[in-house]
Amino acid sequence: MISSSRQFGNLIKRTRKLHHLTQKELAAASGTGVRFVQELEKGKMTCELDKALKVAAMLGIRLEARLPMQHPYSVAAPYAEQ
């Protein structure tokens, strides 16, 4: 599971290299700029999501979101009546 922009960037970089693509080639194929690909691979937290999704799709990376069974912040009542 990816939980940070740095982890996502590492995934993009590893996958790009598996496809034997340069950053320039990936940028051209995904309709982004080389600088964007560089920043994405470094884990820049302010990268545009739609561009990041285009890059991932170009590499064949499929992203999936799953809803938790419960709200992640719900907790049992901390004080039980005695």
Among residues 62, 64, 56, 61, the alpha carbon closest in space to that of 30 is found at: 56
Rounded to the nearest 10 degrees, the angle between the axes of helix 34-41 and helix 49-58 is: 90
More confident residue, 72 or 67: 67
Q: Are 63 and 56 in contact (CB under 8 A)?
A: yes
Q: Rounded mean pLDDT of 67-82?
A: 63
Average pLDDT (26-52) is 97
| pLDDT of the residue at 81 | 53
pTM over 0.85: no
Domain map of the chain by residue range?
5-58
pLDDT for 52: 97
Evaluate if residue 37 carries a pLDDT over 90. Answer: yes
Q: Express each pLDDT in 49-63 by its tens digit.
A: 999 999 999 999 999
CATH class of 5-58: mainly alpha
